[in-house]
Amino acid sequence: MVVKRRRLAVGAWGEAQACAFLERLGWQVLEHNWRCRVGEVDLVAREPDGTIVLVEVRTRSGLGYGTPLESITRAKQAKLRELVHWWRREHPVAAPVRVDAIGVLRTRTGVEITHLRGAL
């Protein structure tokens, strides 16, 4: 139970770091933890050019199990593609929609953020 709470806290911290990162780029974060019956998208944001971006955030507090982005499996990629369709069903917008991934690594000196545009 303690491990699960710690993991959730690290994940929430990582999502907050990713959100702040996107806002510094001038993006507008529209939704946090958008859910539907098939899963969840960590962040939904709009770029300054109007593109809607569904963002998968992965957080690690060390590299013992690889980088944060290495933890995105083929199954998760397939789930994200499916989630795009569900999000578009609920949000009929004319703007382009894509999926990005953000890796957040907690280091001894702060945080390292890796942003992979068009992750799928």
The predicted-structure confidence for 13-67, as pLDDT tens digits, reads as follows 999 999 999 999 999 999 999 999 999 999 999 999 999 999 999 999 877 788 8
How wide is the angle at C-alpha 65 spanned by C-alphas 44 and 120, nearest 5°? Answer: 35
Which CATH number does the domain housing residue 71 bear?
A: 3.40.1350.10
Q: How many domains does the chain have?
A: 1
How wide is the angle at C-alpha 3 spanned by C-alphas 116 and 72, nearest 5°? Answer: 20
19: containing domain: 2-116
Residue 1, pLDDT above cutoff 70: no
Residue 7, pLDDT above cutoff 90: no
The whole-angstrom separation of Cα 119 and Cα 35 is: 20
Q: What is the pLDDT of residues 67-117, one digit of tens each?
A: 899 999 999 999 999 999 999 999 998 899 999 999 999 888 889 999 999
